[in-house]
Structure 1
Amino acid sequence: MKKLAIITSHPIQYYAPWFRYLAALSDLSIRVFYLWDFGITQKADHGFQQAIQWDIPLLTGYDHEFVPNISSSPGTHHFWGLYNPTLNSRVRAYAPDVVLLMNYNYVSLYQFLASWHDTPILFRGDSHRLVPERGLKAWLRQQWIRQVFRRFDGVLYVGQANYDYFRAHGVPSDRLFFSPHAIDNERFSSEHATAHEQAQQWKQELGIPSHHRVILFAGKLIPKKRPNDLLEAFLEAKLPNTSLLLVGSGALEPELRSRAASHDHVFFAPFQNQSLMPRTYAIADVFVLPSYGGGETWGLAVNEAMCLAKPIIVSNHVGCASDLVEQGQNGWIFPAGDTGALKRCLQEALSDRNLLIQQGEQSLHKIQHYSYSQVTTGLRQALSQLGILSKPEDEHKLYIQQSYS
């Protein structure tokens, strides 16, 4: 059995179920090396501006260890936040056949890349260049990234925009393998019926009229997510029998509450932990992610909403837009920052309840192709090309045979 070492920043609710999936494979043994313990203990989240701890199991079902982090300010919000001097020796003691990095732009990971020569290294990332950067500083950064990517023997990409990003930074197409972003579809789907029952009660608790359709935003109330654009578009759209629900917390919350104070059909709900997310999406008739800039590298909330059969409205700066949202089929894509265009999307979406239902069904069908099975197929193809695993079995050749080249 071949051994895979996975190095990542901290336990993440989207990755832990994938690690359990990998651990169940008969020809691959994994160990996950965590560089920080955020998510499993109460710690401040800079985006949500509160201490959080995920309420679903993140460490069960797979082998893992925490590498001591001696940073004076641990976290992923700055370069020195992951400082783990014993990382190399810990990984070497495991004696892996291959290493997969899920991050690189931290001091510990640069040190690892500079000194690790024992086995091939893979990388899985999700950055994009949907918002072009210009100027000398941007050019120098691109040249540096090109050099970093030359260090990897294979790269897993999550979607179209991410593929284009890697190609723009010099990664050859034959070293790129499609390993799409996915969530625990099985958990969300299994809670579908219960979530809708809970959502009706929650709707009543929030004070949203029972006959109102609900436009949902769920996430950090921070500038890059642009919840203020959604609020402005909603107020201008003047939609009958419709409420806007903003779920989450963050730096923009006071401003949003102030702007919405004189409007009857704008509602707020606090941060919802993972066990409540199916209910959170179930309350919606349409989900909106209006992010602006290069920071929304994918938008896994879209995957979650689609698992609850919801139509989607996203800006064209959202990394998953071209992969998950088909205009007129399961949602709408609008130019980022254009509140007039977002208003028109809302008006079209809320003009026909049957249309919303049909588009939600299309979302549910489409998201089945973004599962941990498909994520794993891309990884296995990379390992096969490196000669670490035999060619993927037939059951691993599902959706990923497509190519963006």
Structure 2
Amino acid sequence: MRLAVLTSHPIQYQAPIFRELARRMELEVFFAHNPTPRQQAEAGFGVAFDWDIDLTSGYPHRFLANKARNPGVDHFFGCDTPAIAGALQEGGFDALLICGWALKSYLQSIAAARRLNLPVLVRGDSHLLTPRRRLKAWTKQAAYPRLLRLFDAVLYVGQNSLAYYRHYGYPPERLHFSPHCVDTDWFATRATPEARQALRTSLSIAEGSRAIAFAGKLVERKRLLDLIEAAALCRSKGCEIEVMIAGDGPMREVVLTRAAEVGVRLHFLGFRNQTEMPAFYAACDGLALPSSGQETWGLVANEAQACGRPIIVSDQCGCAPDLAADPRTGRTFETGNVSALAGALADLPTGLATKEALASLVRRYSVGAAVDGIEAALSSCLEKAPSQRRTSGALT
């Protein structure tokens, strides 16, 4: 079995999946873009940087020539890679996996795969909670039931993702679970009691104090101010909450100012690269992600749980029904409801039951489980006769 994968650019969450795929089958990953440190900053991280872990070793890969006039991964025409057609034709592949469809490169690859009679699989985290204007929602409702059938198989990453494809009438027998995940062992082995103590000591956080973490870009859709207001409300009721922030972005000064105004003790660590994150999670008592529906998943929640920490996520976060449905592993609250968020902060799950439930959960949302789903989808596609694959697209 030889699989081609097309993705936008090297992503820290995808690299472990690609490495595991390469251990199980012949694989080549194609990147449509190679972002510069400056582009990383412009994407909302707030600072220019390169990742401090290797995102491209352990699996065959190549960067395609990006012909876009304004290269980037944040807009449809930012990735224009006509060379994908030749790469697929010459590579002797059995199938193509794409990691979305919102870039020109993805549509180029679909067209090329169709000409070569290659099955096309897609893995992404679209869900129905993302705010949409009425006209856009109507257009999608009219077009997507046919357009999504361009894919021979769909890999859904969680319950909201599954609901999305069911909503548009995608054939259920072509749906396969490939959960959003992180390298749980990598995080768990680094989130040690020693790492916890060292960072809490450096921040002057007493062992008995409750520290709630936020990790991510400081942008409006993350609704970080809701966490500050909720911590202030807890404080007014005698429950002291300290807030730890790993991240940067355009909301930085607004957040710092508001925390000072309402008397919330804030530990602003700024942008933290990947190798620094396990200690950050170890030092906290739980992670809060109050985002709007634009948070299609929230993989920082997986990271925190891999480090043994419960989560508090808004009901519009894509991961909510998967990672926080069990009260032993997390809490959910109505997006924008500061009082409900404060209640969840004060009622954070702890103890042995939480530890055991988290261990079970991270095994289900693991790299191995994600690759199992990809393998199952591939096998299903390749079992079809070529004539069946030719008629499985949008015209059926």
TM-score (norm 2): 0.90
Partner of 2:101: 104
Distance across 1 between alignment mates of 2:31 and 2:327: 41
1:227–1:290 CA contact under 8 A, matched in 2? yes
Give 2:276's aligned amino acid. L
Q: CA deviation at 1:254?
A: 1.0
Cα gap change, 1:90 to 1:44, in 2 (>3 Å)? farther
Match for residue 365 of structure 2? Answer: 370
- Paired with 1:176 and 1:51, the residues of 2 have a C-alpha distance of 38
Is the aligned partner of 1:201 residue 2:198?
A: yes
What SS does the aligned partner of 1:24 have? Answer: helix
State the alpha-carbon separation in 2 of the partners of residues 36 and 55 from structure 1.
19
Letter in 2 for 1:147: R
Aligned mates of 1:371, 1:257 — CA distance in 2: 35
Structure 1: distance between partners of 2:99 and 2:157 = 12
**Alpha-carbon distance between aligned partners in 2 of 1:345 and 1:375, rounded to the nearest angstrom:** 30
Contact 2:228 2:264 in 1 (8 A): no
Aligned AA for 2:255? L
Alignment of 1:360-399 (within 5 A): 360-387=355-382
Contact 1:183 1:300 in 2 (8 A): yes
What do residues 346-381 of structure 1 show as CA deviations (whole Å, max 9, x unaligned)? Answer: 1222xx8xx356424422331111112111111111
Counting matched residue pairs gives: 379
Gaps of 5+ in 2: 385-396
Paired amino acid for 1:379: I
For the 8 Å contact 2:243–2:264, the answer to whether it is kept is no
1:46 Cα offset (Å): 1.7
Please tell me whether residue 312 in structure 1 is matched to residue 307 in structure 2: no
Q: Distance in 1 between matches of 2:354 and 2:267?
A: 25
Where structure 1 has 5 or more consecutive residues not aligned to the other structure, the ranges are: 390-405
Contact kept in structure 2, 1:203 and 1:209, CA below 8 Å: yes
- Give the Cα separation in 1 of the matches to 2:299 and 2:40: 22
Letter in 2 for 1:63: P
Q: Give the letter aligned to residue 290 of structure 1.
A: P
Q: Say if 2:338 is the partner of 1:339.
A: yes
Q: Which runs of 4+ in 1 moved over 4 A?
A: 39-43, 131-134
More helix by share: 2
Superposed displacement of residue 150, structure 1 = 1.4
The residue that corresponds to 2:66 in the other structure is 69
The amino acid that maps onto 2:58 is: G
- Alpha-carbon spacing, 1:83–1:134, altered in 2? closer, same or farther (3 Å): closer
What is the distance in 2 between the residues matched to 1:128 and 1:84? 27
In the TM superposition, what whole-angstrom CA distance separates every residue of 1:259-303 from its partner, at most 9, and x where no partner exists?
11242612211111111111111011111111112x111111111
Deviations 1:324-366 (A, max 9, x none): 11342222111111111111111222xx8xx356424422331
Q: Work out the CA distance in 1 between the residues paired with 2:376 and 2:266.
A: 47
- Whether the aligned pair in 2 keeps the contact of 1:97 and 1:388 (CA below 8 Å) is no
Partners of 1:126 and 1:158 within 8 A in 2: yes
Cα distance in 2 between the residues matched to 1:207 and 1:71: 49
Q: Report if aligned partners of 1:184, 1:372 keep a CA contact under 8 Å in 2.
A: yes
- In the alignment, structure 1 residue 150 sits paired with structure 2 residue 149: yes
CA distance in 1 between partners of 2:36 and 2:346 (Å): 38
The 5 A counterparts of 1:232-243 are 232-238=229-235, 239-243=238-242
Q: For residues 38 and 5 of structure 2, what CA distance do their matches in structure 1 show?
A: 21
Q: Which moved more, 1:131-140 or 1:207-216?
A: 131-140
- The answer to whether the aligner puts 1:92 opposite 2:89 as a matched pair is yes
Counterparts of 2:378 and 2:264 in 1: how far apart (Å)?
A: 56
Aligned mates of 2:164, 2:374 — CA distance in 1: 19
- Relative distance call for 1:284 and 1:3 in structure 2 (3 A) is same
Alignment of 1:3-402 (within 5 A): 3-25=2-24, 28-38=25-35, 43-117=40-114, 118=116, 119-130=118-129, 133=132, 135-193=134-192, 196-238=193-235, 239-262=238-261, 263=263, 265-293=265-293, 295-349=294-348, 355=350, 358-387=353-382
- Name the aligned partner's letter for residue 279 of structure 1: A
Kindly report the root-mean-square deviation, in angstroms, between the aligned alpha carbons of the 2 structures: 2.1
Aligned residue identity for 2:125:
D
Which string of whole-angstrom CA distances, capped at 9 and with x for unpartnered residues, describes residues 216-241 of structure 1?
A: 11111111111111111111111545
- Tell me if structure 1 keeps the 8 A contact 2:7–2:99: yes
Hey, what's the Cα distance between the residues in 2 that align with 1:278 and 1:216?
12
Identify if the C-alpha distance between structure 1 residues 109 and 320 changes in structure 2 by more than 3 Å, giving closer, same or farther.
same
**Partner SS for 1:314:** strand
Question: C-alpha separation between the residues in 1 aligned to 2:187 and 2:113?
Answer: 39
Work out the CA distance in 2 between the residues paired with 1:380 and 1:43.
32
Give the secondary structure class of the aligned counterpart of 1:65: strand
Kindly indicate whether the alpha-carbon contact (under 8 Å) linking 1:214 and 1:284 is maintained by their aligned counterparts in 2: yes
Cα distance in structure 2, aligned partners of 1:39 and 1:14: 18
Q: Which residue identity does 1:50 align to in structure 2?
A: V
Quote the offset at 1:44 in angstroms.
3.1
Classify the secondary structure of the residue corresponding to 1:155: strand
Q: Distance in 2 between matches of 1:356 and 1:233?
A: 23
Contact 2:30 2:61 in 1 (8 A): yes
Tell me the TM-score normalised to structure 1 length.
0.88
Q: Which amino acid aligns with 1:254?
A: E
In the alignment, is the contact (CA less than 8 A) between 1:49 and 1:250 conserved in 2?
yes
SS of the equivalent of 1:317 reads coil
* One-letter amino acid matched to 1:167: R
